Amino acid sequence: MSPLSGPERSGCLKILNLMSKVDLLSLSDTITNKMIVVEDVTEAKETILSFTKNGEELLKRKKVHRDIIFKYLAKEGVVMPPNSEKHQLVKRTLELWSSAEVVVEEHVPGATDDIKQRLVPNTDMEMADVKADIGCDTFMLGQQFCSWFFQLLNSQNPSLGQQAQDWGPQHFWPDAKLRLVARAGSDQLEEFLGAELVSCRFLALTKEEHLHFSPNLEPHGLKVLSSAHGLVLVAVAGTIHRDNTCLGVFEQIFGLIRSPLDNNTWKIKFVNMKIRGQDALAGAQTTAPALTYNASELQTLCTL
């Protein structure tokens, strides 16, 4: 059995899932010195995990290319400069695993029970599984929601090579509103009303414009407020990428309300979104951006 810890094993599995079949089979041969013959990708992954001493050993393998680690971190919501070298990405990945702030991936045959642990929702989970009572840890609810939302949205981007998950108007209230302000020299305002239109506009950002959103889920990039009437406000900042190019930063405020007719699922009531392109940043730091909204501005939205 592999000596990998639960977070290490989960993270390594996600990285293996991003690799090609040819590289997986080759890596399995290298690690076992061709003493074990594997017949398919699933066997190759489990063999690699079983014979890997620690996460660092796998990350430093030649077949685990820099771009794969970069893509893995982006999917985990970890923002890194596009020109980061492999050793920098390896270091940040190990820090992520040691903090256990990792989405545990799906089970593979022979995997330990650690793989079944779910710290935050993955992309194919229903929004109903993102549950937290008002009065409990609302910050964790915000982290869970943002992890779920952006993984789901990013999965629609064909350039990332992921399987598109179940995106659609079912995640929004029928009268949902989207207010989108894009700033690249001058402000451009778009407003959409209704679950179908709001859903389609978000879908266009990733599926057609090939944008990739990396939220900053640390305390300076994420704030969560709740009202006595059941509204939960989630505000998050992050960076926007296309391929390996950082295009700018975004700030998003979600208004969430449970739907008692849909298994108490959290649904999106409104979204206020601001996008600032590189030209509008005037050389400002774009890694791990912080929210510019203050508490009083967010509190005002809670009373709407």
pLDDT at 134 over 60: no
Residue 229: the pLDDT is 72
pLDDT at 193 over 90: yes
Question: Residue with structure tokens 């070298």?
Answer: 85
Average pLDDT score, the chain:
79
pLDDT tens, position by position, 8-18: 888 999 999 99
**Could you give the angle at the alpha carbon of 242 between the alpha carbons of 14 and 221, nearest 5°?**
70
Q: Is 88 helix (H, G, I), strand (E, B) or coil?
A: helix
Residue 1: the pLDDT is 41
DSSP 231-274: -EEEEEEEEEEETTEEEEEEEEEEEEEEETTTTTEEEEEEEEEE
Main-chain dihedrals φ then ψ at residue 175, nearest 5 degrees: -100, 25
Residue partners of 220: CB distance under 8 A and separation at least 6:
288, 290, 291
Residue 77: the pLDDT is 81
pLDDT at 272 over 90: yes
Identify the DSSP state of 222.
E
Among candidates 192, 147, 203, 178, which has minimal Cα distance to 268? Answer: 178
pLDDT at 143 over 90: no
pLDDT tens, position by position, 108-127: 333 333 322 323 333 333 44
| Position with higher pLDDT, 4 vs 66 | 66
Residue 162: the pLDDT is 81
Residue 122: the pLDDT is 38
| Position with higher pLDDT, 151 vs 79 | 151
**CA torsion angle for 135, 140, 142, 143 (degrees, to 10)?**
180
Residue 120: the pLDDT is 36
Residue 56: the pLDDT is 92
Main-chain dihedrals φ then ψ at residue 34, nearest 5 degrees: 60, 20
pLDDT tens, position by position, 195-246: 999 999 999 999 999 999 999 888 888 988 887 677 888 999 999 999 888 8
At 301, the pLDDT band (50, 70, 90 cuts) reads low
Mean pLDDT value across residues 250-278: 88
| Architecture label for domain 127-302 | Roll (3.10)
Q: From CA 52, how far away is CA 9, in angstroms rounded?
A: 9
At 105, the pLDDT band (50, 70, 90 cuts) reads very low
Domain ranges for the chain: 6-116, 127-302
pLDDT at 104 over 50: no
| Position with higher pLDDT, 130 vs 81 | 81
Which residues on adjacent β-strands are paired with residue 241?
A: 212, 246
